[in-house]
A and B are shown apart, each in its own frame.
Chain A
């Protein structure tokens, strides 16, 4: 099974800050990496697919990069509505697997 390791596990930042989350896969997954946002009490929502592609309707302040085993998710200018937990997910091999999540808070 492929293990996904996210860092940090939690993060506090100010409105307008640039925020970066990293995700490392235990083996090469090419670009088969998605990023999800989960707000409290809600289902996850896909923001980025295939490492760097913005899902339709998602604000352009969200972006992703990377390939192989190392990936980065960035919010260019943090907004209050971005308070959520963010998960990476690999879809290269079964079983599909998620990172442990990064909880983002506003300072």
Chain B
């Protein structure tokens, strides 16, 4: 049973870079045809899709964040990562990593527990 776990700083200063890692256990991140994604949720609000990386390494990003976001994968550590530059208070949210696929590329059946990131000085 594949499990996902987010990790990273819980506090980031404005204008700095938010960096999170999702560790995948119970299966190889490079096997199968999966989309590894980041989704966030500000407190008391809805879900926002940030972007995804495919097993092949190709990426897709939400245009609303595209200029600031990079998602990458490290197969040697079975992890994928999120970098979000130039953060503001509006980026404060619970960040989830999630997996979609293989036959349902946009359906998230595996999620991490989520990690709260606060942007504040």
Contacts and interface: CB of A to CB of B under 8 A. Distances in A.
Interface of A: 1, 32, 34, 36, 42-46, 49-50, 55, 87, 89-92, 94-101
Interface residues of B, number: 22
Interface string B74-104: 0000000000000000000000101010001
B107 A34 contact: yes
Interface of B is mostly: loop
A91 B47 contact: no
Contacts of B62: 95
Contacts of A89: 47, 106, 108
24 contacts: A43-B96, A43-B98, A43-B112, A43-B114, A44-B108, A46-B108, A46-B109, A49-B107, A50-B107, A87-B46, A89-B108, A90-B106, A91-B104, A91-B106, A95-B49, A95-B61, A95-B63, A96-B106, A97-B49, A98-B46, A98-B47, A98-B49, A100-B46, A101-B47
Given A42-B113, A91-B105, A95-B60, 19 more contacts: A32-B106, A43-B96, A43-B111, A43-B114, A49-B107, A50-B104, A50-B107, A55-B109, A87-B46, A89-B106, A89-B108, A91-B100, A92-B106, A95-B49, A97-B49, A98-B46, A98-B48, A98-B49, A99-B46
